[in-house]
Structure formats: structure tokens, C-alpha cells
Amino acid sequence: MENKCQLKKASNFDIPELIEIEKSAAGSKLYSPMLTEDEWLVALEIGSVYLIERDGITVGSVSYENKNGVAQITGLVVSPEFQNQGIGRQVLTQIFEELKGMHRIELATHPENARALKLYQSFGFTVESRKENYYGDGEPRLILVLQNDIPKT
């Protein structure tokens, strides 16, 4: 039986923990981490940022922005020791509940991040385009889009 994940709205006080989560996923060309307090201050100001908790332990984070009725998932990170346990799927299901009524959800992922692509495509995301050096890290990203058929949870 899967342990249910909880989303806890993050605040400025959570920035050190958010940075630690990002560090756990850093070091791979597949992910461009946010490692500065300034980046997180902006993210918290313009979007919705959550810590992902399971059994009282923070296991990751997820964030999105609402830009004129278009939702952009700006981050989804699960600490490596908690990956492959269905957490990403649980979290996206909860986020889609918040985003009901949106006609378009976008996100960016590395074209070689097969696990992420499989997860997103299982929800109905399709590849809209490829952008080179999307985050300024020298790596390409695929822009994935879910339109008009946001999964009903």
C-alpha cells in the first residue's frame, strides 16, 4: 500500500530545506537545480511552491505558476532515495486537482529524462517543442503541454 503524500505550502522559512532538496537532485544534466535564496524568493512570490511530505519526512518539492490562465509546472523534485515509489504520480494528481479548469498546463523536461517523460506522457502530456539551452545550463529541454483534457482526479 502506498503511503499518501501531503503537500505543504512552502514559505520563506522553508528556503534552506528547498535548497537541500534541489542539491539532492543536482549533479545531473537532466535537472537544473535552484540553489540560491534569491531564486526561491522569486519562486515563492510569483508561484505556488509546496514541500512534499510523506510520514512526516520531506521527500521533495513541487511548484507551479499561473500565467494568464496557463499553468506552468516549474519544478517537481523527489529526493533520490524516495524516487520510483509513485510519489511523482501522487503529487501531479494533487496538483491537477488545484489546476482544474485550466485549459493548458506546460512544463519543461530534459529529453533524456526517460522516467519523467514516461510519467508526464501517462497523464496525457505531449511534446510541443524542443528548446536548446532552456535554463542557460547548456542543455536542451522538451516543452510538454496538456490541453483541454486536464485529468479529472
Q: Which three cell numbers stand for residue 88?
A: 511523482
pLDDT of residue 148: 66
Q: State pLDDT tens for residues 112-143.
A: 998 899 999 999 999 999 999 988 888 899 99
Cross-strand partners of 58:
53
3-state secondary structure string across the chain: CCCCCEEEECCHHHHHHHHHHHHHHCCCCCCCCCCCHHHHHHHHHHCEEEEEEECCEEEEEEEEEEECCEEEEEEEEECHHHCCCCHHHHHHHHHHHHCCCCCEEEEEECCCCHHHHHHHHHCCCEEEEEECCCCCCCCCEEEEEEECCCCCC
Q: Amino acid identity of 133?
A: N
pLDDT of residue 1: 43
The pLDDT of residue 15: 94
pLDDT at 33: 74
Nearest by Cα to 147 from 128, 130, 133? 128
Nearest-CA neighbor of 107 among 87, 79, 138, 135?
135
Q: What is the reported pLDDT for 93?
A: 94
Q: Residues of the chain whose pLDDT is less than 70?
A: 1-2, 27, 148-153
Average pLDDT, the chain: 89
Query: What pLDDT does residue 150 have?
Result: 58
pLDDT for residue 112: 92
pLDDT for position 47: 94
Please report the pLDDT score of residue 149 as a whole number: 58
